Amino acid sequence: MPRILMTGASGGIGTSLRKLLPPIYPDLLLSDIKQPSDLGGYEKFKAADLADLAEVEAICEGVDGILHFGGYSVEGPWDAILQSNIIGCYNLFEAARKKGVKRVIFASSNHAVGFYPRHHRIGTDVTARPDSRYGVSKVFGEGVGALYADKHGIKVTCLRIGNFGEAPLDHRRLSIWLKPEDLVQLCRIGLEHPDIHFEVLYGASYNERSWWDNHRAYDLGYRPTGRAEDFREHAMAEQAKLPPDPVGDYYQGGAFCSMEFDGDKERVIDWKK
């Protein structure tokens, strides 16, 4: 069985996948800057700071594939994004190259393209339009992944993850929801599919309101089991509790677009009239 390294083991996605992955990949090595508080006796864990190349090289030793969910997971100050998501991402790919890792799945984000309007359906080949410093770091990660695939032969899959969780929680997330078991499917495609060289796929379940063309994932065998519309009533009830956000409600990135926004609001107002 292959040895799989999963970074970000203490985060929300990592915590969920720690329960779902072991039956598929029994030789699973977990890593994060701090050990999960609920680490089980059967789980293998090695701490590493992504900003420290030597520590990242140590966790990549003897690894066949990497699920890279580590890093700063929300918008934040530039230095925090720089250390975790820019330097840390580069270190991850460089350590993978040095240690002979064959495949890397990079957790990109919908925030790499968050400034596309919601009425604009997009594929994976569009020009990046990040909605935040966090989104910029995900564009960087996709670029580094492409470089290491083309120049060094690592098979790389970038997943532009929507909203990961057990159910979509508001109107926006009816379009971008990703069920945990569906993320496992996408990870398996990246780790196992023979045709992978470099791919960008959307991390989304079967969402009838989706803004994304994810046909390449389906071409590779993706068959999501989550259906966002099953949770429509709850999501819309929760949406009714939220204040209006003219900018965030217009763009796919939601509140990531409206925070710190001092651009041209007339573009949004004119469209809504």
CA gap 49, 55 in Å, rounded: 6
Which domains does the chain possess? 4-272 (3.40.50.720)
Residues with Cβ within 8 Å of 109's Cβ and at least 6 positions away in sequence, in order, are: 134, 135, 138, 160, 161
* Residue 243 identity (one-letter amino acid): P
Residue 137 Cα to chain centre, angstroms: 12
For the stretch 207-264, pLDDT in tens is: 999 999 999 999 999 999 999 999 999 999 999 999 999 999 999 999 999 999 998 8
Given the structure tokens 């041209």, which residue do they identify? 264
Beta bridge partners of 251: 117
Tokens of 62: 């003897």
Residue 122: strand, helix, or coil = strand
- The pLDDT of residue 267 is 74
Cβ–Cβ contacts within 10 Å for residue 147, how many?
15
- The pLDDT of residue 193 is 98
CA gyration radius, the chain:
18
CA angle 236, 181, 111 (to 5 degrees): 60
CA gap 265, 238 in Å, rounded: 26
Segments in the chain below pLDDT 70: 1, 269-273
Residue 88: strand, helix, or coil = helix
Going from the C-alpha of 122 to that of each of 53, 80, 127, the distances in angstroms are: 36, 30, 10
- The pLDDT of residue 268 is 75
CA gap 158, 50 in Å, rounded: 18
The catalytic residue positions are 134
Cβ–Cβ contacts within 10 Å for residue 50, how many?
28
* 8 Å CB contact between 67 and 7: yes
Q: What pTM does this model have? A: 0.95
- The pLDDT of residue 273 is 41
SS3 annotation, 150-184: HHHCCEEEEEEECEECCCCCCCCHHHHEECHHHHH
Nearest one of 100, 98, 95, 124 to 110, comparing CA atoms: 124
Cβ–Cβ contacts within 10 Å for residue 73, how many?
17
- DSSP of 106-166, one letter per residue? EEEEGGGSTTSBTTS-B-TTSPP--SSHHHHHHHHHHHHHHHHHHHH--EEEEEEE-EESS
- The pLDDT of residue 224 is 98
* Residue 260 identity (one-letter amino acid): E
* 8 Å CB contact between 71 and 8: yes
